[in-house]
Amino acid sequence: MTDLLNLDADELERFVRALGQAPFRARQLWKWVWAKGERDFAAMSDLARSFRAELERHACVSRPEIVRTLTAADGTVKLLLRLADGESVESVLIPSASREGKERLTLCLSCQVGCPMGCTFCSTGAMGFVRNMSTAEILGQVHVAREYLAGVSPEAQLRNLVFMGMGEPLLNLDALMRSLKILNSESGPAFSPRRITVSTCGVEQGLKVLGASGQAYLAVSLHAPNQTLRARLMPAAARFPLESLISLLRVYPLRARERLTFEYLLLGGVNDSPAEAAELAALMSRVKGKLNLILYNPAEGAPYRAPDGQRAAAFEEHLRRRHITATIRKSKGSDILAACGQLRSAPRATT
């Protein structure tokens, strides 16, 4: 059984040809799956009945199952999704308002069940690693989100995608790159690369592949201004030394007026001192980037706390005095454990 969400446009055409159909049938099928979000072959009315019967025998369009939804006070919605094998992941819909007052949403996507990076401040990392998600499972989150929004808020627009959910995207590189190719397709989901951000702790080969593709913006989870502290906070990520990471990012391909985004989680008494701000400013002066400062969100079992507002503001001001673009980013969904570092799916379903 072939899951059509795993196929890009060229692969879908080859699949359709193998079923004895003309290439234009692939374009019709692609439109049903991606433009209309249809998964029932019987409803694809402009396909020949015999072709629909073949599809029923040989293909499917998968969807994760929504097990639970939680809505935060700020309108953020967390979806707990069950995958076909019983594993589960979480994805998050984050609201914002346009200038016209229309609700626009960003979907935070997961790419792995659990995470192998083991960052000490992250709930997902505390889960350990279960497995990579398939292209169909990654893209299925987009279908589920659109279907959910159509039922609860038809006027809302799914505007942006961020690979900032569960897992390290660049350690599931093949599925990530296939997903980006499909998402960028003008005849498919039609998300501009400017509307997609991939967040990574820093994986050397993955960074090279993603940069060469130009298929998404890049956000780098930094969280420490030196190798020693980074190794303590992010032991797996630190295997790619900070100096090497910065050297690679100095030559990372960027479009005109584009800058790299760096995420820096402020941990009270750990990485938020004036000395660390000075180190971070020196580091950031070597790359074309901007800093998102994030106040730590409590993660189960982690021995950290957020800095108080005054200390965080002083850290931000120190960076600005050094001419580093830095902003304290307000986390959304923390009251439902949907903010940065808080995603942690339920144990595998049992029968």
- List active site positions: 90, 340
Distance (Å, rounded) from C-alpha 29 to C-alpha 334? 40
Q: How far is CA 74 from the centre of its chain?
A: 20
Contact between residue 264 and residue 319 where contact means Cβ atoms under 8 Å apart: no
Count CB atoms within 10 A of the CB of residue 278: 14
**Position 157, amino acid:** Q
Count CB atoms within 10 A of the CB of residue 320: 13
Tokens of 125: 């990392």
